[in-house]
Amino acid sequence: MAIPNMQIPSRQLFIDGEWREPVKKNRLPVINPATEEIIGYIPAATAEDVDIAVKAARRAHGRNGWGSTTGAQRAKFLRAIAAKVLEKRPELATLETIDNGKPWFEAASDIDDVVACFEYYADLAEALDSKNKTEVKLHLDSFKTHVYKEPLGVVGLITPWNYPLLMTTWKVAPALAAGCAAVLKPSELASITSLELGEICREVGLPPGALNILTGLGHEAGSPLVSHPDVDKIAFTGSGPTGIKIMTAAAQLVKPVTLELGGKSPIVVFDDIPNIDIAVEWTLFGCFWTNGQICSATSRLIIQDTIASQFLDRLLEWTKNIKISDPLEEDCKLGPVISRGQYEKVLKLISTAKNEGATILYGGERPQHLKKGYYIQPTIITDVDTSMEIWKEEVFGPVLCVKTFKTEEEAIELANDTKYGLGAAILSKDLDRCERFTKAFQSGIVWINCSQPCFWQPPWGGKKRSGFGRELGEWSLENYLNIKQVTQYVSDEPWAFYKSPSKL
Ligand SMILES: NC(=O)C1=CN([C@@H]2O[C@H](COP(=O)(O)OP(=O)(O)OC[C@H]3O[C@@H](n4cnc5c(N)ncnc54)[C@H](O)[C@@H]3O)[C@@H](O)[C@H]2O)C=CC1
Ligand SMILES: C[N+](C)(C)CCCC(=O)O
Ligand code: NA
């Protein structure tokens, strides 16, 4: 596959089906994390643009608008979007790579997931037509009750930078499938492919205002979207602190939110694993895929002491074998982290670990051969104490910390020793033991003899400080539907609660 070279297309805000200059004409630089160079600019929306976009969405959703289409009609647009994304796969993958820093082949497989997700929600939109009015059986026959599932209305979608177009799609596809009109605010650190989705929607003739895309800063564009009185719901993926800000602001309007936040997920490895190399590779993938910037990363390795030194030796050999390079290189397996801010944050967490007494078994620095770009070596930290910051805090970078255990009880206690509750992995040949851990893990996702594989059909989300709500599958469609109960009096008899006045 030839990797195309691309310039960043020059785009405006995507509002009401067309490209619009932001009211204040502000723009933000786009930086390629592999070169630290400015490669383009994106428009920076402010509250004025949010108001224009929300009004456009409300009009689109209104009478005889997107909100009154059938699922079958909406499915046609979702399939047309999927087809266009597929057509532009190589270009979108390159744009994703130069904006986000993930290896090109990872970006390309993210694009495949985007296509599958739009097609999946087209099917669910179609299926909705036969499910959006169902009778509820009552204990009496003088009433008939039905439940209607109807679009919630205008929804605000706020997304992170680690899977730019995929996280956008996880929200846009079900929202449109449900018949909602959406205002999307992608991360200012990686907005390019989300703007390209706007161009694709324009090309397929998506009704104006069904999807509006506002790029810009969180506090300048995201915050006014959360607080806008005519936005019915917010779906957010990102950091814990920002999730708290969003939930606080939404609470003033009793506005529902779904929060997909961070994690510090465990991977528990027993000494009965049948093949150490398979277990080592899953451990690597669980923490170093996507340059380690995964909300569900299994960034805490909890390894049985009987196998620990052998496992760590092998883990080191595999880690040294990871190719760190410009993410546009064909077989790159680790690119730069997203930004200078993230680069410094990750290095700071590593140096704090050292100061608190942990051992940097491998990595911890910029790779020698890469003088430019926000590159950090895959890092393995041992001699970790549960009181240390590196054990407690989400790094969102290629950093794995390690603790050993003797008994199952100790392993479960260490695994659940986190304020988060997103994912958890268990590697063991003993499937009864895996079942015990599945039940004991305080998480929304469990991986057995693997880590990270994620498909669009099952529910995705966590508990505790990882947030609430579920994305993907049927669960995500429910996020964008209003459940309306309709009860009809079908008897000809008077209700006879009050005494009838004497006959005239
Ligand atoms: N768990 C996850 O999926 C992610 C975790 N992170 C962690 O969070 C840290 C901060 O990264 P950021 O990209 O700044 O994440 P963030 O959570 O601040 O940003 C996520 C999205 O929220 C928007 N946003 C920020 N402040 C907002 C506000 N007050 N109101 C409405 N929207 C707002 C941003 O513009 C972006 O679109 C990272 O260093 C990383 O450790 C970052 C991205 C994803
Ligand atoms: C795509 N997947 C499942 C690896 C992660 C998506 C959630 C996140 O990291 O923000
Ligand atoms: Na960027």
**Which ligand has its closest atom nearest to the C-alpha of 100?**
3
**Same domain (yes/no): 285, 331:** yes
User: Ligand 2 test: best mutation among 288, 454, 472, most atoms within 8 Å of CB?
Assistant: 454
**Same domain (yes/no): 229, 281:** no
For ligand 2, which residues put their CB under 6 angstroms from it?
Answer: 160, 162-163, 167, 237, 294-296, 452, 454
**pLDDT tens for residues 114-126?**
999 999 999 999 9
**Same domain (yes/no): 373, 419:** yes
Domain that holds residue 143: 13-261+466-487
**Same domain (yes/no): 283, 206:** no
**Same domain (yes/no): 101, 138:** yes
Q: What is the CATH number of the domain that holds 169?
A: 3.40.605.10
The neighbour count for residue 135, using CB atoms within 10 Å, is 10
Closest CA to 93 of 326, 238, 211, 101: 101
pLDDT for the residue 504: 67
Low-confidence ranges of the chain (pLDDT < 70): 1, 504
pLDDT for the residue 1: 65
Helix 71-87 crosses helix 164-178 at what angle (to 10 degrees)?
160
Which residue's alpha carbon is nearest to atom 2 within ligand 2? 454
**Same domain (yes/no): 480, 357:** no
Question: How many domains, in total, are found in the chain?
Answer: 2
**Same domain (yes/no): 415, 293:** yes
Spatial separation of the C-alpha atoms in residues 483 and 468, rounded to whole Å: 19
Spatial separation of the C-alpha atoms in residues 386 and 417, rounded to whole Å: 8
**Same domain (yes/no): 171, 296:** no
DSSP code, position 499: P
Contacts of 487 (CB under 8 A, 6+ apart): 143, 144, 145
**Same domain (yes/no): 435, 359:** yes
**pLDDT tens for residues 144-161?**
999 999 999 999 999 999
**pLDDT tens for residues 280-334?**
999 999 999 999 999 999 999 999 999 999 999 999 999 999 999 999 998 999 9
User: Ligand 1 test: best mutation among 170, 239, 394, 445, most atoms within 8 Å of CB?
Assistant: 239
In a domain, 105, yes or no: yes
**Same domain (yes/no): 120, 227:** yes
In a domain, 120, yes or no: yes
The neighbour count for residue 37, using CB atoms within 10 Å, is 13
**Same domain (yes/no): 408, 478:** no
Cβ density class 432-459: b for 16+ within 10 Å, e for less? ebbeebeebbbbbbbbebbbbeeebeee
Q: What is the CATH number of the domain that holds 404?
A: 3.40.309.10
